[in-house]
Amino acid sequence: MKKILIVGSGASGLVAALSFAKQNISFDIIEKLSVRSKESKALSLNSASLKLFHSLGVIDDVMKKGKSMKDIYIYMNGKKISHIDKSRLDNRYNFFITLPQYITEDILEKKLHTYNVYIKYGHALTSLQKKGSSYIVSIDEDGKTSKTKYDYIIAADGKSSSVKSILNVDSVKYDYGYRFCVADIKLKTELKKSTIHYHINDKIPGFSIILPMLSEYTRVVLCSKRDLPTNIDLPYIESFLRESTGDSCLTLQCISWQSSTKFHHSICSNHLSDNIFFVGDAYHIFSPIGGMGMNTGMQDSLRISWIIAHIIQGIAKKSLLTLYTKDRYKEVLDILDLTYTHTNMILKKGDYEQSEIYDTNFSNRKHIKTTLPLIFSGYSSNYSAAISNDGGLIQHAKYLEFDKTNTFSLLSKSKYLLILNKKSNAPSLSHIGVIVILFSGKVREDEYILISPDSMIVLHEKLYKLNKVNDYLDTYYYA
């Protein structure tokens, strides 16, 4: 019996599927659509997602098909006020990539095929019935209904999630009060194709974002405090961009795709229900500022998939699920708060009328050089219980090279990494979910680092506190 059902085959569902596949965990993945959507949709892949793709073995394809960039420039009424430089990140992937969502999904699906696993297209979940600790799931295919039993369900079926609807799960929502338009355009005039530009302009009043792609098209995001027209056409986008950027010569050739919706965010009031877990847009929706939506959804999936896999493999206790139910919820709330703040700053709304947070004329250069690159790279989240040896919260693990391997590649084995200096005495660990690494650099002789399978630093302590590793693992794992 396949114990896991993944509902939805977008990027979040595919990351969960690949994580299970590489751990030899049997599952089904269904998609109500008969074919994959070819709409551009989400575009930006941040540094945390590139690290995830490294562990899943698809980073080379993503790098080849996407456009990599390190710089974000922010302008206020035509004046450059800030430069966010991701090359300052102390990480291998100190950049981000623009790649249309359907191409990202195509790369992930082709990788899934290498495990001889295929998406069941045209399969719609229609009902759930609790039976003991499992669920009897009704699935419709061309008018024919079948019933299958599953122990775990991952709801990756988007903002209009059928799983949420069936379970009557509500979302807490916030409406910013404005609409925005997203479009992929072809320009007649040249733009600098290696940087992202945010243009905030009081004349509109509103802003535009310009994101180059590897193809001949450029992604633009438009938002005005005035109502956007119902029919947003080429002349309107051209006029909007000219006014927001101050470039009166900017000329558009055509539009290949566009969409418009309300500026809002939401989060599930209850992101799990007796072994049913929500990920991606079924769990949360962010404002487009910072491009955190799809990136956060893929991190959701990576987290819950290795946790479920360890439980099914019999090496972990069900208490491990608290790492998703507690820590992940806190992380998502933190990301929601960050995007809320930055969205209101760009909209110059309410208590965020001024944009000093981006202005290097103020005493926040460290914030510009260090904090903002972390935020816009997906490295601002952390385990709520993770404490460094100096008492501060610590975050994503860095790329470290060992003999013929590295931390990112080792994490593809979906085990914890315990890293010590070579001159330290390796501890006696009976937990099979841990790989012990003796390293000559980066880690001092008197300290150790414990990294989770989704590349988060769980413990960073002095060596004499090494017993915390066993204490931590005893809480979640069988000896």
Q: What is the 3-state secondary structure (H, E, C) of 389-409?
A: CCCCECCECCCCEECCEEHHH
Higher pLDDT, 436 or 165: 165
In the predicted structure, residue 272 carries a pLDDT above the cut 80 = no
pLDDT band at 176 (very low <50, low <70, confident <90, very high): confident
Residue 210's CB is within 10 A of a number of other CB atoms, namely 22
pLDDT band at 362 (very low <50, low <70, confident <90, very high): very low
Q: Contacts by 57-63 with C-beta closer than 8 Å and gap 24+?
A: 57/22, 57/111, 57/412, 58/18, 58/107, 58/108, 58/111, 61/107, 61/110, 61/111, 62/97, 62/99, 62/104, 62/107, 63/97
pLDDT band at 388 (very low <50, low <70, confident <90, very high): very low
**Averaged pLDDT, 417-428:** 76
What's the distance, CA 183 to chain centroid? 21
pLDDT at 154: 97
Cite the DSSP H helix spans in 57-122.
59-65, 101-113
**Pair 322, 248: CB distance under 8 Å:** no
**Averaged pLDDT, 184-201:** 83
**Sheet with 206-212, side-by-side order of all strands:** 79-85, 71-76, 195-201, 206-212, 217-224, 171-187, 252-268, 284-285
Residue type at 274 in one-letter notation: D
Residue type at 281 in one-letter notation: D
> 3-state SS string over 213-263?
CCCCEEEEEEEECCCCCCCCCHHHHHHHHHHHHCCCCCCEEEEEEEEEEEE
In the predicted structure, residue 403 carries a pLDDT above the cut 80 = no
pLDDT at 150: 96
User: What is the C-alpha separation between 212 and 196, in angstroms, rounded?
Assistant: 7
Kindly report which listed range (221-230, 246-255, 285-294, 392-401) carries the lowest average pLDDT score: 392-401
**Averaged pLDDT, 393-415:** 75
pLDDT band at 167 (very low <50, low <70, confident <90, very high): very high
**What percent of the chain clears pLDDT 70, i.e. is strictly above it?**
86
Residue 276's CB is within 10 A of a number of other CB atoms, namely 23
**Averaged pLDDT, 295-315:** 93
Higher pLDDT, 271 or 176: 176
In the predicted structure, residue 349 carries a pLDDT above the cut 90 = no
pLDDT at 455: 84
Residue type at 469 in one-letter notation: V
Which of 190, 228, 191, 192 is CA-nearest to residue 207?
228
Kindly report which listed range (167-176, 180-189, 373-382, 410-419) carries the lowest average pLDDT score: 373-382
Please, what sign has the CA dihedral across residues 319, 305, 413, 445?
negative
Which of 387, 405, 385 is CA-nearest to residue 449?
387
**Averaged pLDDT, 178-198:** 84
In the predicted structure, residue 18 carries a pLDDT above the cut 90 = yes
**Pair 104, 11: CB distance under 8 Å:** yes
Report the first-to-last Cα separation within the chain, whole angstroms.
Answer: 27
pLDDT at 97: 94
Higher pLDDT, 203 or 122: 122
Question: Cα dist. 147→312, 377, 382, 462, 472 in Å?
Answer: 22, 42, 39, 53, 39
In the predicted structure, residue 170 carries a pLDDT above the cut 70 = yes
> 3-state SS string over 301-367?
HHHHHHHHHHHHCCCECHHHHHHHHHHHHHHHHHHHHHHHHHHHHHHCCHHHCCCHHHCCCCCCHHH
Structure tokens at 22: 């590489």
Kindly report which listed range (25-39, 88-102, 152-166) carries the lowest average pLDDT score: 88-102
pLDDT at 193: 67
pLDDT at 235: 92
User: What is the C-alpha separation between 50 and 55, in angstroms, rounded?
Assistant: 9
**Averaged pLDDT, 284-305:** 92
**Ramachandran quadrant class, 106 (left: phi over 0; alpha: psi -120 to 50; beta: rest):** alpha
Rg of the chain taking only CA atoms, in angstroms: 23
pLDDT band at 435 (very low <50, low <70, confident <90, very high): confident
pLDDT at 267: 92
pLDDT band at 363 (very low <50, low <70, confident <90, very high): very low
User: What is the C-alpha separation between 314 and 378, in angstroms, rounded?
Assistant: 31
- The reply to whether omega before 205 is within 30° of 0 (cis) is yes
pLDDT at 74: 87
pLDDT at 94: 87
pLDDT band at 86 (very low <50, low <70, confident <90, very high): confident
**Averaged pLDDT, 71-81:** 87
In the predicted structure, residue 320 carries a pLDDT above the cut 50 = yes
pLDDT band at 271 (very low <50, low <70, confident <90, very high): low
In the predicted structure, residue 265 carries a pLDDT above the cut 80 = yes
Structure tokens at 232: 């947003």
Higher pLDDT, 54 or 374: 54
In the predicted structure, residue 88 carries a pLDDT above the cut 90 = no
What's the distance, CA 295 to chain centroid? 2
